[in-house]
Structure formats: C-alpha cells, structure tokens
Amino acid sequence: MKIGFVGLGNMGGGMALNLVKGGHEVVAFDLAEDALARACAGGCSAAANAGAAVAGAEAVVTMLPAGRHVAAVYRDQLFGAVPAGTLLIDCSTIDVATAKAVAADAEARSHAMVDAPVSGGIAAAAGGTLTFMVGGTSQAFARAEPILQAMGKAVIHAGEAGSGQAAKICNNMVLGATMIATCEALALARRLGLDPQRFYDIASKASGQSWSLTSYCPLPGVGPESPADRGYEGGFAAALMLKDLKLAIAAAHGADAAVPMGSAAESLYQAFANTGGGARDFSAIIGFLDGTLPTAP
Ligand code: NAD
C-alpha cells in the first residue's frame, strides 16, 4: 500500500521503517532534514513537503509533537493534498478536543480518520511492538488495523473519534499516580528499616502490586531490570509524562471530572521538571520525592 508518513522523530522514524518492513511503499516528510535522511536510509522515499508525501497515498500516518502541529498539518497541508476517501491515521498524543475537531473536518471532506496514540516508547516504536488505542468508526478502524499491526503488537478499538486519546491520557494518569505512590512507599519502607528487595517481594505478591512496581521498579537493583538500573536514562521521559498529565487534567476540567490524584501527580512532575528532571526517566522522581537519591546524572 502507498502510505504518506509525516513526522519522523524519535517515534515516527522507527514506525515508518516498520511500515517499509511490512511491505508498504512509504513516502515520508519531516521538517528536520536529518530525520528525513534516516528514514530514507531505511527505505522510505523523501517528499519535499507534507502535501507531496501524501499525494496519491491510500493511507496517511502522522506522528507529530502536539495538537497544534496536528491541526495545522492536516488543515493547511494534508486535507487539500490527499485523494478523497484516503484513510488518515494520527498517532500523535494530543488533546481530545483537537483530535475530535480534526476528525470532524476530515469527515466533512469525505476522508476516514482515526486517532491512534501509542503506548510504548522509542524502543517499542523501533521494534514494532507498540500498543495502539484507536478512536474512530468501526469501518475506519477495520481499514487502519492492518496498517497499525505492522508497527505494533496490539491494536485496540477504543470507541468513536477522540476515544484513542481519551484512553491514552487516562491510562497515563494511572501510570503517573501509581509511579509516585510506588516511589513514596519504597522510600518509606527504606526509612522504616525494611530491605527494599524484601518489601518488593512482599508488595509484588500483595495488594500493593502494580505495573510501576513489578515491571518498572523505580529503585536500582530491585525487581526486573528497569531504567533505574541504567541511571534513569532512556525509558519514558518525565517531560512526556508531564505532557500527558497536563492533557488529562485539561480534559478532566472540560468533563467536570474530579481527578485529585492525577492533579497531584501533575504538580509533582511539574516540580520535578522544574528542578531539571524532565529529560530523565519518569521513575527518577523517586530521588526528588525522597531527597536521598541523585536526580542529576
Ligand atoms: P519528536 O519531537 O522526536 O518527533 C516529532 C517530529 O515531528 C520531529 O521530527 C519534527 O521535526 C516533526 N515535525 C514537527 N512539526 C512538523 C511539521 N509541521 N511537518 C513535518 N514534521 C514536523 O517526538 P516523538 O518523541 O517522536 O513523539 C511524537 C508523538 O508521540 C508525541 O505526541 C509524543 O507525545 C508521542 N509519544 C512519544 C513517546 C516517546 O517515548 N517519545 C511515547 C509515546 C507517545
């Protein structure tokens, strides 16, 4: 299938190459020349601009930083350049309101559009093991599913347009809050004289168990290997967690939802970012909370 791909950064670069590996013809564009060059080295063809990347495409995939980029790229460059009926797939993590508005614009132009944000970081994007949460009609989902499968291990229909973004920010709000609760508990356990590994062994088999504890333990040397064992480098940057928490809190305000734990997590990740922690893995917040572990490399 001929696919136009716009946004070849940390995530999109790997995703585009997995489409190539899946046998698709990928015509790509990014404002950054080095990103475009990497994609071309992996088998994509370069386009001179976003409109040229999608001209004649049967499907379009975008992986851009935020809602304002997605709205501008679709409205100013893609809608006028794609053939009628083209399937549009936006994989960026953006606000629910913009996702819904852009999808409505697409529908008014007779294009099928889905929002398909991902869970999984740069390694999962490169390895083709992302999880996609998809918002859009059943027909659009059915068309998007085989394309997304070439880039991921799970493709799940969340509901109507915007539902993929809603699922993503709700999931990451749980993740942000449970990571902080896990960090607090591990730090307290240590201060109470408990061996952290012993506490891990107990909590991982008791009701304190969570993904943050047992798959991504924020203490080095405890549990399976995680970014904590690599000096909190790589993994999921605290700045990206903060971005997702801000999206969740903004959506909660619009929906009159009470999100006290999510709001606390947002404030704490903001404070952590303000001390220079934004580029570190999000589990590094344990050092900020406890004050006993290094937060700077
Ligand atoms: P990135 O900044 O590395 O990549 C974004 C790319 O978009 C850049 O290469 C940039 O040059 C390009 N771009 C921006 N405006 C453009 C335009 N008008 N036309 C063409 N290209 C344009 O970001 P990323 O880490 O790849 O993240 C992309 C999205 O995925 C974000 O919404 C992010 O929240 C989400 N996400 C990221 C991760 C992660 O671990 N990095 C994980 C899950 C979801």
* Distance from the first to the final alpha carbon of the chain: 45
Task: Please give the number of the atom of ligand 1 that sits closest to the Cα of 73.
Answer: 18
The phi and psi torsions of 10 (rounded to 5 degrees) equal -55, -40
Give Cβ neighbours of residue 269 (< 8 Å, ≥ 6 apart). 176, 238, 241, 242, 245, 282, 285
Task: Please give the number of the atom of ligand 1 that sits closest to the Cα of 122.
Answer: 40
Question: Which residue out of 6, 8, 11 has the highest number of ligand 1 atoms within 8 Å of its CB and is therefore the one to mutate?
Answer: 11
CA atoms 45, 50, 54, 56: torsion sign: negative
- The response to whether residue 200 sits with its C-beta less than 6 Å from ligand 1 reads no
At 175-213, the pLDDT tens digits run 999 999 999 999 999 999 999 999 999 999 999 999 999
- The response to whether residue 73 sits with its C-beta less than 6 Å from ligand 1 reads yes
- The response to whether residue 69 sits with its C-beta less than 6 Å from ligand 1 reads yes
Question: 79, 105 in Cβ contact below 8 A?
Answer: yes
- Cβ burial 248-275 (10 Å sphere, 16+ → b, else e): bbebbeeeeeebeebbebbebbeebbee
User: Mind telling me the catalytic residues?
Assistant: 168
pLDDT at 292: 74
Residue nearest to atom 9 of ligand 1 (CA): 9
- The response to whether residue 32 sits with its C-beta less than 6 Å from ligand 1 reads yes
* Residue 292: how many other CB atoms lie within 10 Å: 10
DSSP string, 266-289: HHHHHHHIIIIITTSBGGGHHHHH
Three-state DSSP class for 60?
strand
- Give the pTM: 0.93
Residue nearest to atom 25 of ligand 1 (CA): 10
- The response to whether residue 150 sits with its C-beta less than 6 Å from ligand 1 reads no
CA of 92 to the centre of ligand 1 (A): 7
Residue nearest to atom 38 of ligand 1 (CA): 121
**Which of 115-119, 233-237, 250-254, 274-278 has the weakest average pLDDT?**
233-237
At 89-137, the pLDDT tens digits run 999 999 999 999 999 999 999 999 999 999 988 889 999 999 999 999 9
In angstroms, the CA 217 to CA 16 distance is 31
Q: What is the largest CA-CA distance in the chain?
A: 66
- The response to whether residue 92 sits with its C-beta less than 6 Å from ligand 1 reads yes
